[in-house]
Structure formats: C-alpha cells, structure tokens
Amino acid sequence: MKTDIMSPQEISAFQQLIWNYYSFYKRDFPWRYVQDPYYVVVSEIMLQQTQTYRVEPKFIYFIERFPAWADLAASSWFDVLIAWQGLGYNSRAKRLHDMAKRVMQDFDGCVPEKPEILETFSGIGPNTAGSICAFAFNKPTIFAETNIRAVFIYHFFPGSQKISDKQVLPLVQATLDTKDPRSWYYALMDYGVFLKKQARNPTRRSTHYIHQSKFEGSDRQIRSMILKLLLKTEKIHKDELVASIDREPERIMRILQDLCNEKLIVLDEPHFLIK
C-alpha cells in the first residue's frame, strides 16, 4: 500500500481536524477502553449491521449473562440465542458462540492478537479482524467500516461514485495515528457519524454500501418468527410450525432448511428444535 500519497502537512491538518472534533464530541460506550478483549469482540460482532443505540443495552445484558469466554463456551446454544434476541441476524450469535468454544479449546481462553489468525474464525473478515486488533490491543492495523468510509469519501472523493476500500485504505494507512490507533479509530468513527447526519450519507457512494431491505414481509422476518416460536416451545412438530406462521408454506420450509444448514435449528423428524 502506498503511504506517500499525502504530504506531512496534509496528514497533520487532517489529523488535527479529527482530533479537534473528538475532543469535544466523542461518544462513550461500555465497550470502549476496556481491559478485556472479550468485550471488544462481543461488541464488534454485535455492531455488524446494527446501530449502536440498539447494541448498547443488549451488550450490557449479554456480558452480564456471559462474563467471559469460558462462560459463553460452556453455555447452550438455546441460552445464547435467548440472550441475543432483539439484535437480529442471529447467525452472528452462532458464530460468536462457536468462536468462544475455539478460543477456549485452541487459544487457552485468549483472543489471538494477529489479524491473520482472527480471519480464520467464521464470520470475521479483514475489516473485523483489524478492528478487533486495534480496539482490543491498540495495534496499528488498517481497516474500514461504514463510518470510517464516510470520513474518507467525504474529504478525499468529493463527487466521485463507486469508491472501493482499495481506494480508501491507502488513505487510512497514510493518516493513521500509530501512537494511539485505538483512540484514533474511535475519533474517525465518531466524526463519520456526524458527517452522515449533516449531509447525504457519503457511504452511499461506496461500492460496499448495502441498502438494508425492509424487515416487514422479508425472509428475515420469517426467520425471526420461527426462532421466537422455537424459543417459546423448545420443540414443535413441523406441520404445527408451518401452520403457526401466516406465510407461504413453501417459503417457510425453504427458510427452515436454511436455518438447519446454518445450524441455528435442528430437525429431529418430525420436530424442529433449538439444540
């Protein structure tokens, strides 16, 4: 990655802008500046595709229920899913639960500090691995997420469309404050939230921008209905389950198969259950 794309003066001016904003308007969340990397990982998985205001109360409840990797690894999938309810995208909870088991089994209960190792865990790509290393261990990793993209697209790509992370990441690297990357990334993200509120969301011009479809009537809604029903009944005959949901039977059966493939539920003929 090229790092000579900005002059020292330009880098200094940009950093000063971000730090000045952060000094007055930084946000505070329970997962920031914590000593336990477990909290960072839980928050990063929860924050995937979910707003901070929804994550904060669930994060507090989740870590009270499962205070450490060992507690999460030893818990049943049923109990983990109950604690996760309300956040959506339940496959994230499954991956976090599986990660806890592997951290305990293969890493003596300690989160790996290398991004390339973190990327071997299901559901953790380069950006999430980089963010975990920066926030949990204050390492100068290079990554982007929606609010960071907003900052760089707004300042460095005015009027441009279809901007990729391949274009953004060299700028992230060039401007990184290597003395305190953890605080720097928090500052970038907080400033990005501000920018997205002030004008048309700059991340709409990113090739990585995904417009979330409506929940009402979606497959996501049916998945949620199925899981809520199974969390109440624990075990239900497949005919009764299909009859309990006011949607097309063929669609319900397809989604049930998807949930089984993802190991979120189990088919024990002729019943479905969470196990």
Q: Which residues of 85-124 are buried (b: 16+ CB within 10 A; e: fewer)?
A: eebbebbbbbbbbbbbeebbeeeeeebbeebeebeebeeb
Token digits of residue 63: 């870590």
Determine the residue type at 47.
Answer: L
Residue 42 CB coordination number (10 Å):
23
- 44 catalytic, yes or no? yes
21, containing H or E segment: helix 8-25
Question: In angstroms, rounded to a whole number, what is the distance separating the alpha carbons of residues 47 and 27?
Answer: 15
Determine the residue type at 117.
Answer: I
Q: CB pairs under 8 A, 24+ apart, for 237-246?
A: 237/270, 237/271, 238/267, 238/270, 238/271, 238/272, 239/270, 241/272
Residue of 10, 44, 119, 234 marked catalytic = 44
Nearest CA among 269, 264, 266 for reference residue 237: 269
Residue 6 CB coordination number (10 Å):
17
Contact 44, 143 (CB under 8 A): no
| DSSP summary character for residue 237 | E
Distance set, CA 8 to CA 12, 110, 125, 155 (Å) = 6, 38, 31, 17
DSSP secondary structure of 119-147: TTSTT--HHHHHHHHHHHH--------HH
Active-site residues, by number, are: 44
